[in-house]
Amino acid sequence: MLSLFIAMLAAEVSASAPAPQPLVEPNPKTMTQREIKAFNASIPKDHPFHIRCVRTVDTGSLVRGTYSCRTNRQWAKADEIGNLNARETVEAMQGKAVNTN
């Protein structure tokens, strides 16, 4: 009876154990959509290596568009660089927009 309980407990623990986390950041640009879905199935959405794809519609077209797929870490880095560039532009323009006439 005790061995049955231990076996059931061990099966429950192994079923609830988290999936192994990937150790190497993938390159989404070389992966197909099927590979990205399979990869994302093994990790949570807030993991730094989770891949997000964003569709951008081409100007003047309702159908044609492109996909940009990056990991959460790559998206965060792109946001950081964009914010830094915007901040530098604003600081560079302060004081230069004065009309001296």
Question: Could you please report the per-residue DSSP string of 30-43?
Answer: GS-HHHHHHHHTTS
Computed on alpha carbons and rounded to an integer, the radius of gyration of the chain in Å comes to 24
Alpha-carbon gap, residue 38 to 47, rounded angstroms: 15
Q: What are the pLDDT tens digits along the chain (101 aa)?
A: 545 445 555 555 455 555 566 568 999 999 999 999 999 999 999 999 999 999 888 888 888 888 899 999 999 999 999 999 999 999 888 876 666 65
Backbone angles phi and psi of 22, in degrees to 5: -65, 145
In a domain, 6, yes or no: no
Q: Is there a domain that residue 20 lies in?
A: no
Give me the count of residues in the chain. 101
**pTM of this structure:** 0.65
Inside any domain, residue 100:
no
Range of the domain at 45: 27-93
